[in-house]
Each structure stands twice: as structure tokens, then as C-alpha cells.
Amino acid sequence: MPPVYLMRHGETVWNLDARMQGQRDSPLTVRGRAQAARQGAILRDHGVTTCHARSSPLGRAMETARLAGLEAIADARLAEIGMGEWEGRLRADITTAAGLMWKFDAPGGEGLETVRARLEDLLADDMAEPVILITHGAIGIVLRALLCGFPAEHWDRMEDPQGVVHVIENGVERLLA
């Protein structure tokens, strides 16, 4: 498989509030817009200028793609995990232990096995050329884990910061800066 470049959307208002977003949207902050522009500069600095780009259809991801200078095609398989009853709630009101999201499915939400299946379907597409994927925190972690061969029990130890670009090639991940 050719290189896969992964970008998480820029910081949003709900990220600042520590709210669970799931498939609901909140706008990018000033910092989030700057992060998106920086991601575009990182790609250009590394000569990544002609890749196809796919993005979650959610507004925060599509805006990140646009601000990064990418013409991305919306792909619903890249949408954030559905958080059901947790969407819009403060993380502190939900979590009682670290990694809760990786251990329990949100009531009325999408299960991690469903997420894994849709992302495996995405990765099974004929990706003959390098691709840029613009997505979300949980989805970025699962994608990176699948591409690098990390087992599910390690997902809760992975981070997916905003404003950076991950590249995975031949199962090896690098952070571009």
C-alpha cells in the first residue's frame, strides 16, 4: 500500500469545552483554523502536493481540508464514531476511568466493531496512489492502529493530536512536522 497521510481536524469550540462531539459538529476555533493551514504547509514542505484527498463529511473535517488547501472528496466512512447519548456532553460527566470510550460503546451510539468494519472497508479500496485522509480523533487512532497492525487493546494508549500530519507506509508510522 502506498503512503497514507492522516490529518485530524483542527481544534473546535467543543474540543476547548471538553465535550464529546461524535457526529455532531462545532466550528473550528481561530487556533483550529491555524492548525489546518499549518497541516497544509507540512504536506507541501514534504512534497505532498498531488495526492488524492478524502475527508469525513462533517463540517470540521471538510473545513480543515479546505484551509489546508486540499480538494477533498467526502467519504462517510471517515466520519467520527457516533457517540449516541454522549454527544454534546462534557467528558468529565461521562468518564469515570481513563479510556472509557475504548472499553464501552456509548448508549445509542456506534460500536467500535462497526467503526473497525467501515474503516477496513475503506482500506480495502484500491489505493494505488498515496492518499490524504482528513478525519477525527477516534477514527484517526483506529486507522493508524489498523495500518500499523496495533491490537485493539492498545488503542486507548494512542493519541491523535490536532495540527499534525501522520504518514503510514509499510506499517511504519512517522509524524511530519
Question: Was 170 annotated as part of a binding site?
Answer: no
3-state helix, strand, coil in the chain (%, to 5): 40, 20, 40
Residue ranges of the domains in the chain? 4-176
Q: DSSP of 26-89, one letter per residue? A: --B-HHHHHHHHHHHHHHHHTT--S-EEEE-SSHHHHHHHHHTT--EEE-GGGSPPP-GGGTTS
DSSP 96: S
Predicted TM-score of the model (pTM): 0.92
Residue 175 has pLDDT above 90, yes or no: yes
96: confidence class by pLDDT, cuts 50, 70, 90: low
Which among 60-64, 88-92, 103-107, 124-128 has the top mean pLDDT?
60-64
pLDDT above 70 covers a percentage of the chain that reads 94
| Beta-bridge partners for 14 | none
Side-chain half-sphere exposure of 153, counting CA atoms within 13 A:
0
List C-alpha distances in Å: 159 to 108, 124, 129, 141, 154.
Answer: 25, 24, 26, 7, 11
Q: Which three cell numbers stand for residue 67?
A: 484551509
| 154 is an annotated ligand-binding site residue | no
Return the pLDDT at 157.
80
For the segment 101-155, what is each residue's pLDDT rounded down to a tens digit? Answer: 556 678 898 988 899 999 999 999 878 899 999 999 999 999 999 999 998 777 7
Which residues does the annotation mark as catalytic? 9, 80
The pLDDT, as a whole number, for residue 98 is: 46
* Torsions phi, psi for 174 (to 5 deg): -130, 150
Of 70-84, 91-105, 138-152, where does mean pLDDT reach its minimum?
91-105
Residue 172 is inside which H or E element, if any?
strand 172-176
15 annotated as a binding-site residue: yes
Residue 8 marked in a binding site: yes
Instruction: Look at residues 86, 77, 79, 40 and name the one whose alpha carbon lies nearest to residue 59.
Output: 79
- Say if residue 14 carries a ligand binding annotation: yes
Query: For 17-37, b where at least 16 C-beta lie within 10 A, e where not — what string?
Result: eebbbbbebbebbeebbebbb
Residue 100 has pLDDT above 60, yes or no: no
Task: Give me the architecture of the 4-176 domain, per CATH.
Answer: 3-Layer(aba) Sandwich (3.40)
Answer yes or no: is 12 a known binding residue. yes
